[in-house]
Structure 1
């Protein structure tokens, strides 16, 4: 997950997060960097290039978002006839994932895409790949050493919190002494801390709003239900809830319905299809969700292909791909849910 201290290239629309900006490219070879009559770079991003193998290593798909990551990568690779995707089974065991990456290194794949179970713990194997001449695309959970990857692409966890806080702030800006609560993710993860910090920083813009409670869950339906039940029991009255994750949000909604509560609004996180369906139906407290797009995996495959075929991204002056891409955390509510519904993951 990105840290606020590292260099980031921000793209301001969700369409970019889906990899639309990666659909065309220019060659890194000076002789091939032809320009058209209007001095725009020639583009050939969708045309087959040289055959390459992309190794993909991610954690176990035991969560809707992680499963969507795998599916996005597979589907994107199939788009390119010259790309072979060598994908590992996926594991949350750090030693096992390191072994899987080392196997891909030994196979001499052309490019590696790695979504580490733990960025810090897999930094050394990322460095090993880079030193072996295999460029690494670091996906989402960031390595602790920038030399361990050629390019980073991921979501904006701090931005998620800011977007959620501003959405709630705008909805409650005219309410005196408004109260909000937060159902966070796993507190030991940097991403959870960043989401909370962004949320708290955004709420500073609304002096009439106070955060009165926070519980950390575990990104599961069961934990969401249990922790939400505790919050509801402790807080007899509040105006808004931000839930970090739509998977645990399924359980949170269950607890809310069982308690018969409908006196507040709820904002989710990540962009699950179930959340978007509920937002569209507009028959529950869930009124919005903040995106953390799994389409980043499709874009990671695009970046890997460009690297393997020594191409850059069209629309940018540089002949090389960016060192970093951070996706925008858009808010989906009833006004724009139809636009984003096709991107919802199961």
Structure 2
């Protein structure tokens, strides 16, 4: 009896062990199937990146809109990114902030380097393995990506517009902004070269100003006291042009037929139909383009093929089509 009972006991133990082993295998398969069904496998894991944004301090509505749209885009990306936005008043401060972002562990930096002297620090960041996408400004750095409007074409469109309105001869004040680097250089280059080609007898008078309405007002008020006859003003910025128009109004001048601009300022658009004596024009250079710069940074980090330079075409806005570009939600 004892031997028989022992035999039954051994059989029972063996059956339990086999059941346990079989149950373990079924549980493993179920776990794998659940992982596959839920999409939690490593192949589907979304990358998480640290994105730094460097912009100038807000001294200009367009710059404020750039910072606004950049932050809006990284917020739209949600949990895919951590981000920091730094603003600076000069190249030295921006360089320090660039170093801070590198220490933070930024995978990519979207930079708007408005000042000279950013070439070396940006090159150092790229050499350390950080993806850098420059917004707007062109600098001589190997490996940097860039997103910008077509600055040179803005000048070309400005020249064509002025000739269309005043003819091939006249006095044109050219307001350049040397402190803006390549932006002013390219817009002025496109304008002057095109004017030399299509209206070689046009008299161009060049003066320096800044991208603010206060400078546009003060500088153009001085110009008006020294230049008796002006047919058109080639201004490369909407906010500067607002100041120019104020100076014209305060001086009571009626000789000026055209004032150009650039950017995409809602207030400037709304002025276009208000003055029938002056053709007010803007070469659209929307601050919303900075969202493309953020997206390109993400694309590069994801290993996608990206062109080093993305240039967004120019659109001319004046009283005939300004309503198409009004946006009550725009911060600029």
1:36-185 to structure 2, matched below 5 A, reads: 49-118=46-115, 120-147=116-143, 149=144, 151-173=145-167, 177-185=169-177
Give 2:272's match in structure 1, choosing from 273, 279, 291: 279
Q: CA–CA distance in 1 between the matches of 2:45 and 2:312?
A: 27
- Asked if 1:258 is matched to 2:254, the reply is no
Deviations 1:156-188 (A, max 9, x none): 322221110111112233x6x333222222367
Q: CA–CA distance in 2 between the matches of 1:257 and 1:282?
A: 10
Q: CA–CA distance in 1 between the matches of 2:280 and 2:114?
A: 31
- Structure 1 partner of 2:314: 329
Q: CA–CA distance in 2 between the matches of 1:153 and 1:114?
A: 10
Deviations 1:60-114 (A, max 9, x none): 1211111111011011112222333523331122222111111111111221111
Contact 1:185 1:245 in 2 (8 A): no
Give 2:235's match in structure 1, choosing from 231, 243, 248: 243
Shift of 1:224: 0.9
Q: CA–CA distance in 1 between the matches of 2:250 and 2:203?
A: 24
In structure 1, runs of 5+ residues without a counterpart are 1-46, 313-319
Structure 1 residues 188, 334: CA separation in 2 closer, same or farther (over 3 Å shift)? closer
Q: CA–CA distance in 2 between the matches of 1:341 and 1:54?
A: 31
Shift of 1:231: 2.1
- Structure 2 partner of 1:12: none
- Asked if 1:296 is matched to 2:289, the reply is yes
Shift of 1:344: 6.1
Larger radius of gyration: 2
Bigger relative CO (Cα 8 Å, ≥ 6 apart):
1
Q: CA–CA distance in 2 between the matches of 1:252 and 1:334?
A: 18
- Asked if 1:232 is matched to 2:224, the reply is yes
Contact 1:48 1:80 in 2 (8 A): no
SS at match of 1:331: strand
Deviations 1:21-44 (A, max 9, x none): xxxxxxxxxxxxxxxxxxxxxxxx
In structure 2, runs of 5+ residues without a counterpart are 1-43
Q: How does the TM-score come out when normalised to structure 2?
A: 0.79
Structure 1 residues 109, 212: CA separation in 2 closer, same or farther (over 3 Å shift)? closer
Shift of 1:266: 1.3
SS at match of 2:286: coil
Shift of 1:283: 4.7
Q: Which moved more, 1:153-162 or 1:278-287?
A: 278-287
